[in-house]
Amino acid sequence: MMEPRQQQRPQDFDKVLSSMCTEPHPLAQEVAVECLAMNPGDPATYQTVAELETEAITRLGEVAGIADPYGYIASGGTEANIQAIHAARNRASGEHLSGQPNVVAPESVHFSVNKAAEMLGVDLRVVPVDSDYRADLDAVRAAVDTDTVAVIGVAGSTEYGRVDPIPALTDIAHDGGAHMHVDASWGGFVLPFTDYAWSFADAPIDSMAIDPHKFGRAPIPAGGLLARNQATVDALAVETPYLETTSQATLTGTRSGAGVAGTVAVMEELWRAGYHQQYHTQMNNATFLAEQLTNRGIKVATPTLPLVTAAVQSTTIEALQAKGWRLARTTGGDLRIVCMPHVSRASLEAFLDDLDYVRS
């Protein structure tokens, strides 16, 4: 067999502490390769993968706590967020709107929502977070008006791994006649194992972004858009004259059969004991790292999900990056480490050794 060229070799994950993606589960990888040529965007032609997609959505509904979910496997959290806002805007137009439609979201919201607002002609009203980086309910309430088409809450925020008060946000959205969307793109596969007492079942949210290609360990691209009602998906549908099916609700046309099949394979394998174990391992790693940083006199935001942020000087971060560590920072400049499934205790210990070295 021919040796792969250097740039074709997969990158080593040992020093990757910045990513919200991870190594796919070996089973998911195997199945994904077999399904590379299957296109769920053309479901009447590619019926096997279409059936797998239905199964993937049902399984994602189980994770999120909804018995009869609608939706599809998207390219990622970005597409799922765009489409949720797209659906909310389409459903509201012609109803209660008197001016430009708006979406209300906490400042912790992922930048994909800025993309959505710009593309969809929606005014994005960003409101402050509280001292624990969670949506400030009074600020959200004050920002919602008759032109609000959606309120967004984040369940596992990108920068601090925080979970917004989803049930209270849902009440505010619904009182204002707006759609409630939860961005659980990163946190979706973690939340079922935490103490947060909400899900689709007890907080009647309208849609959710939940990405198998993050904590779910599916191959990229596999994002999830879940909706409580068929009407949300219908609001996205366009006619598809040349396909065997008559309409399509997705943003992209041709989609990844590998992502769909990989999602089903890994969920069949890991839900729920495997994901539970994964959560515990990474939450323990996050707690360990937070303690170790605190012991070194570094100010740390106590992790609530497996994500640690700490006030580390930028020169230190740069020195660590030069030693090969892949590290991210928050908008405010804090070091941000995501304990994804590939992050081992040994890797964190090696990181701490290097941290001590560059600070000495």
Binding site for ligand PLP (CB under 6 A): 20, 76-78, 81, 110, 112, 154, 158, 183, 185-186, 211, 223
Smaller CB separation from ligand PLP, 21 or 300: 21
Q: Which residue is nearest to ligand PLP (CB)?
A: 76
CB of 338 to ligand PLP, least distance (A): 9
CB of 341 to ligand PLP, least distance (A): 15
For 112, half-sphere exposure in the C-beta direction (CA atoms, 13 angstrom radius) is 21
Smaller CB separation from ligand PLP, 158 or 232: 158
> Residue 352 class from Cβ within 10 Å (0-12 exposed, 13-18 middle, 19+ buried)?
middle
Smaller CB separation from ligand PLP, 42 or 183: 183
- Where do we find the tokens 């605190």? 294
Smaller CB separation from ligand PLP, 185 or 250: 185
Helix (H) / strand (E) containing 327: none
CB of 220 to ligand PLP, least distance (A): 8
CB of 79 to ligand PLP, least distance (A): 7
Helix (H) / strand (E) containing 350: helix 345-359
Helix (H, G, I), strand (E, B) or coil at 93: coil
Question: Distance between CA atoms of 157 and 307, rounded to whole angstroms?
Answer: 9
CB of 8 to ligand PLP, least distance (A): 23
Smaller CB separation from ligand PLP, 61 or 187: 187
- Where do we find the tokens 């059969």? 257
On whether the CB atoms of residues 189 and 215 are closer than 8 A, the answer is: yes
Nearest to 150 by CA among 222, 213, 223, 235: 235
